[in-house]
């Protein structure tokens, strides 16, 4: 028998509130299945299980606040009989692993597509009003719960404040960001580099490529940039991994954290194994990630796995961004705005689309020379867009 524990989704997380179970006692689960939604100060997170087996008992009712490391449910492991009583071990990420992530904040919404059928507006209203959707009778299409249904249910009984109210959550997000960024600046000796990359070929290739693609399959320049960063990171292991307990641990995989702005803060969930993915797949996954980050439904693995973060503030019109590293990661790549700028080519000043790439890196792990070679490698990869 194993215990499924409240995971730590950030070094500063002490407790989370169980919002909903996605499984029932007796249900079989596979490693990676989402078993519950937990509300933290960073928002609602879908928690995955890290062992396969059968859920035997749910120990906690929705609405309960549970400290990190306390059991939420019992699991009979695959192949285990009812009688076999192995000592409990945590199927949830161990605190050290989960401590990889800090200041990961999420919008207040339960994942869509789970639990009773309800419109996103109804789910948002239910959360805001502290209403359990399972207890609401739906009057919408096919019995779906509408916002009006939720409001009627709320009027019928005093709202139970099971989850933090929105203003409190916004404060929690800021606190989480403050904790992570404060720790980063206290502990990590950052050094900063930047370079300007000529995107003339990349943009030309992209125009031609998008001309062949249906609207829904078109690529944005950010897909090329992310792929180039990830491919370069694979060749510069000292930029990709975690600094834990005074030691750098490089990562074999490149999972790019992508900084996504939210109304009340910021989240940087992981795009997994970026070097192995096509540009089209990256676009689809990034689009999905952004939507889930904003509407709710990020998964615990996405909050724990990033090995290197990329922040792109270019859309907001700034030329460059020098970011703060997300501990315990050791570098962060900043992407500025893509715009036509004067460049010198063959002794003449010409207008070329360019982007300013920046690197913030941990001087405990790497030196400026390697950092500059890393940026140069990204630039070189961008000169051959067809190979990305």
CB of 338 to another protein, least distance (A): 9
Q: In angstroms, how far is CA 107 from the centroid of its own chain?
A: 12
Q: Helix, strand, or coil here: 132?
A: coil
Burial (CB < 10 A; 0-12, 13-18, 19+), residue 351, is exposed
Report the DSSP pairing between strands 308-312 and 256-258.
parallel
- Residues forming a β-bridge with 58: 73
Least spacing, CB of residue 290 vs another protein, in Å: 6
- Between CA 23 and CA 361 the distance in angstroms is 42
Q: Does 315 bind another protein (CB under 8 A)?
A: yes
Instruction: Pick the piece of the chain touching another protein (CB under 8 A) from 3-11, 74-82, 157-165, 214-222.
Output: 214-222
Quick check: 212 binds another protein (CB under 8 A)? Answer: no
Q: Is 273 in the site for another protein (CB under 8 A)?
A: no
CA distance 97 to 259: 20
Closest distance of CB 286 from another protein, Å: 7
* Closest distance of CB 144 from another protein, Å: 18
Whole-number minimum distance, CB 379 to another protein, in Å? 21
Contact 181, 309 (CB under 8 A): no
What residues numbered 108-137 form the site for another protein, per CB under 8 A? none
Give the range of 39-47, 75-83, 191-199, 282-290 binding another protein by CB under 8 A: 282-290
Give the helix ranges, DSSP H, for 99-188: 120-129, 147-156, 166-187
Contacts of 167 (CB under 8 A, 6+ apart): none
User: What is the C-alpha separation between 181 and 170, in angstroms, rounded?
Assistant: 17
Residue 100 or 123: which CB sits closer to another protein?
123
Shortest reach from residue 359's CB to another protein, in Å: 22
Q: Please report, as residue ranges, which positions from 285 to 304 form the binding site for another protein (by CB under 8 A).
A: 286-287, 290
316 part of the interface to another protein, by CB under 8 A: yes
Residues that bind another protein (CB under 8 A): 207, 210-211, 215-216, 218, 220-222, 263, 286-287, 290, 315-316
């Amino acid at each position: 028998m194993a215990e499924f524990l409240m995971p730590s989704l950030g070094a500063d997380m002490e407790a989370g509130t169980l919002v909903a179970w996605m499984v029932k006692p007796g249900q079989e689960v596979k490693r990676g299945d989402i078993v519950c939604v937990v509300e933290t100060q960073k928002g609602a997170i879908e928690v995955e299980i890290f062992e396969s087996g059968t859920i035997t008992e749910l120990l906690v009712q929705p609405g309960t606040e549970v400290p990190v490391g306390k059991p939420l449910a019992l699991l009979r492991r695959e192949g285990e009989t009812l009688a076999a009583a192995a000592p409990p071990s945590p199927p949830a990420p161990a605190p050290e692993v989960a401590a990889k992530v800090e200041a990961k904040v999420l919008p207040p919404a339960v994942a869509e597509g789970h639990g009773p059928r309800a419109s996103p507006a109804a789910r948002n209203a239910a959360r805001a009003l502290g209403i359990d959707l399972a207890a609401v009778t739906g009057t919408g299409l096919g019995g779906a719960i509408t916002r009006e249904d939720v409001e009627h249910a709320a009027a019928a009984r005093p709202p139970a404040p099971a989850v933090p109210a929105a203003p409190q959550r916004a404060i929690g997000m800021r606190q989480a960001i403050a904790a992570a960024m404060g720790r980063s600046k206290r502990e990590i000796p950052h050094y900063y580099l930047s370079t300007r990359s000529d995107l003339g070929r990349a943009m030309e290739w992209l125009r031609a490529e998008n001309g062949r693609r249906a609207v829904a399959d078109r690529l944005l320049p950010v897909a090329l940039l992310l792929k180039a960063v990830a491919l370069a990171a694979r060749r510069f292991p000292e930029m990709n991994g975690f600094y834990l307990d005074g030691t750098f641990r490089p990562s074999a995989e490149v999972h790019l954290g992508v900084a996504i702005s939210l109304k009340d803060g910021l989240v940087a969930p992981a795009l997994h194994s970026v070097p192995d993915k096509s540009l089209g797949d990256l676009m689809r996954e990034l689009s999905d990630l952004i939507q889930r980050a904003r509407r709710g439904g990020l998964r615990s693995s996405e909050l724990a796995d990033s090995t290197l973060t990329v922040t792109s503030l270019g859309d907001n019109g700034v030329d460059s961004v020098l970011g703060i590293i997300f501990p315990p990661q050791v570098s962060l790549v900043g992407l500025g705005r893509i715009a036509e700028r004067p460049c010198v080519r063959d002794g003449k000043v010409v207008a070329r689309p360019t982007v300013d790439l920046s690197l913030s890196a941990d001087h405990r792990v790497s030196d400026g020379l390697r950092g500059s070679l890393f940026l140069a490698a990204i630039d070189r990869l961008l000169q051959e867009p067809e190979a990305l």
